Amino acid sequence: MKTVTIWGYLHHDGGAGTEMLGAVELLRSKGVPVRCVVPEGTDVLDPAEPRRRYFDSLGVETVAWRPGILEGATIFCLGESSLFDALWRDDATPAKVLYGSTMIGVGALNDAEKAAAAAGTVTSWVFQTEAQKEACEEEAGADLPCVPGYRPYFNLRSGWLRVPHTLAPKANDRFNVGRISRDCPHKWHPETWEQFARIVAPRPVHFTVMGWGPNAAAKVGDICQPWHKLHGTLNLTWHEHTRDPAALEAFWREQHVLFHFWDDFVENCPRVIMEAAAAGVPVIANHRGGLPQVIRHGETGLLFHDPEDAIFYTSNLAFDHAERDRMGAAARAQLEATYANPDWCWPWWETQLL
């Protein structure tokens, strides 16, 4: 059977790494040989590195890039544009290159990706949503070759990305609101704390923030400091960005809703939406970018145009735990029928890579 080469590796600094993990797990579950190629010096070349040990357990070959290794290869890559430098430096001619940008909106393609688009280096571009396709083609200034219907796999039984296997009842003695991202300023709204403070609930509200750091503090204000006007007014727990699967699993088990809100940033198909669905957590998010294609408003989550609606939707779910349980269960059911269903995902992969 044909070997699929993955350029890049599993990481938790964004959705692309965990999405590539799903691709590897799906391919291996179907008996497809997988080889991960990474630049020389990458930490996963150490056999003792945890991610390397997990990929070894799946039967994945992990090797350092060397001249000639990509010649004639069938390559899948998400967001690791260093692939193009490796191809051009070696003057390699792969059999096929499937590549997906991870961004949307202004900056949907970086300089290397634009050069690859102009040179025709990519056999087929991978787009998660129609909004992303439009944004990337606008950046490239041309139509990009692609095969529609890309189906990323989200493995509910992953041995690495731990998510709740089944839905468990959540305690209703308080209302838990979660927020998760990297410590990037564009992932935050400058009035995040003010929005939190205006959420109304019949029971105490507890906010958990994952991804807190200096960049977030510079954007929204450091509520941890006694001089902040809202210091001490919110029941708040914050954590720095973590790559620990156990900590992420614990976060999702506790939340009643995910408050996914920023100001001018445009998201495509963030993995946190799938993680929330896996845990039965309704998402309240901007009606922007690729999210309307992923979240069914009023069924699996809630989409808003106006920040006032975000506060209203969140408060409404605080009072109606039956509705939020129904919505969370619907999100989980949709995930199980689509992205978490290998039989639903596999036809696209089989057609494109084998």
Residues 54, 153: Cα–Cα separation, whole Å: 18
Instruction: Give the distance from CA 109 to its chain's centroid.
Output: 17
Q: What is the pLDDT of residue 102?
A: 80
Residues 37, 44: Cα–Cα separation, whole Å: 10
Residues 158, 249: Cα–Cα separation, whole Å: 12
Residues 253, 165: Cα–Cα separation, whole Å: 11
How buried is 14 (Cβ within 10 angstroms: 0-12 exposed, 13-18 middle, 19+ buried)?
middle
Q: What stretches in the chain show pLDDT beneath 50?
A: none
Q: What is the pLDDT of residue 58?
A: 97
Model pTM score:
0.92
Q: What is the pLDDT of residue 12?
A: 57
- Contact assessment for residue 204 and residue 235, using Cβ atoms and an 8 Å cutoff: yes
Q: What is the DSSP letter of 266?
A: -
Q: What is the pLDDT of residue 265?
A: 81
Q: Which residues contact 110 (CB under 8 A, 6 or more apart)?
A: 81, 101, 103
Q: Are strands 205-210 and 236-239 parallel, antiparallel or unpaired?
A: parallel
Q: Which domains does the chain have, with CATH numbers?
A: 4-153+341-353 (3.40.50), 175-337 (3.40.50.2000)
- The tokens for 227 are 């001089």
